[in-house]
Amino acid sequence: MNGTGLWAPLEIRPGDVGAGSGAGGLAAYLDSVDLEALLVREKALVFRGFQVPQDGLDAVLERLLPRRIAYVHGNSPRTKVGSNLYTSTEYPAAYTISMHNELSYAHAWPARLVFYCAVAPASRGATPLVDGRLWLESLDDEVREAFAGGVCYTQNLHGGSGLGKSWQDTFETRDRDEVDAFLAGTGARWGWGPEDGLRVSQVRPSTARHPVTGEEVWFNQCDQWHPAALGDETAKALAQIMPVDELPQSVTFADGSPIPDAYVLQVRDRGLEHARDVDWHEGDVLLIDNMLVAHGRRPFTGPRRILVSMSD
């Protein structure tokens, strides 16, 4: 592990806890501890050296994630490979994925995430983690105060052909009535447009308090939804194609006013600056509290395959 800041995830190895290796050894260890208390205290746990094979992963997930949920209303590209088991975000290897809490833009989000290393990258490819309280405290007062009223996320989801994700992939259904029923319980505003497109807008808070610890943490994805974080050339090219509010995803302050580029870039850069890297070895398992800790991805070379599952 490396990075800045005082917090770091707890690494647990078989020899340190008197456990056997493989899925059976890790499952037996998990049965012997108060996992809820351990995770709340440490915020993230790295199970290393157990060398869990992929065909033994379900036995481990049953203990780590008691109620596995589907990645519904998710905005990142990924492939479903098992029972509520997905590839991690399928984004070009040369780029960094900035820090974020999974589905923090949605009306409901997973409480826990598990990452599993099926294939380690040839080089780099760490999953950086940042303490959400530290991330919030690292921001300038001006930025924290500006976000106090929350943010508004907007998605433009095509019906099968277009830029970004389709609503069918996003909601894992081809039934518009199912989408309407789902969105009706979220507090979002939505409408169906031409060519079977769907526009969804939702106002969400920029911070959240953990239900157990009471800690206030930075909890939004303004930088990942804002064109400023795409880089000057990409943002300029997109602006020539379509207005900001017609992009696949965009974000403003809750009142609809624009978020200054400098604020977004500070959020992105401070999160990465205070992150601790978890480097991957085949068979590693990482469990995180999705409110207390945000995650990202470093660039990598080689075939890197990290799987992810989540629970409420």
pLDDT, tens digit, 9 for 90 and up, residues 150-187: 999 999 999 998 888 899 989 989 999 999 999 999 99
For residue 236, what is the DSSP state? H
Between the alpha carbon of residue 153 and those of residues 98, 141, 188, 221, 284, the distances in Å are: 17, 23, 10, 9, 34
- pLDDT above 90 covers a percentage of the chain that reads 78
Q: How many Cβ atoms from other residues are within 10 Å of residue 104's Cβ?
A: 23
pLDDT at 74: 63
pLDDT at 246: 86
Residue with token string 């992150």: 275
Instruction: Give 230's pLDDT tier (boundaries 50, 70, 90).
Output: confident
Minimal CA–CA distance to 77: which of 242, 249, 196?
Answer: 249
Instruction: Give 235's pLDDT tier (boundaries 50, 70, 90).
Output: low
Between the alpha carbon of residue 220 and those of residues 93, 142, 169, 267, 269, the distances in Å are: 24, 17, 22, 10, 14
Q: Which two tokens stand for residue 140?
A: 């300038």
Q: For 162, how many CA atoms within 13 A lie in the half-sphere containing its CB?
A: 22
DSSP 128-165: EEEEHHHHHHHS-HHHHHHTTT-EEEEEEEBSSSSSS-
pLDDT at 245: 80
Judged against a pLDDT cut of 60, whether residue 9 lies above it is answered with yes
Instruction: Give 243's pLDDT tier (boundaries 50, 70, 90).
Output: confident
Burial class (CB in 10 A: 0-12, 13-18, 19+), 37: exposed
CB 130 within 8 A of CB 294: yes
In this prediction, residues 58-71 reach a mean pLDDT of 90
pTM, two decimal places: 0.90
Judged against a pLDDT cut of 50, whether residue 3 lies above it is answered with no
Mean pLDDT of the chain: 92
Between CA 19 and CA 47 the distance in angstroms is: 11
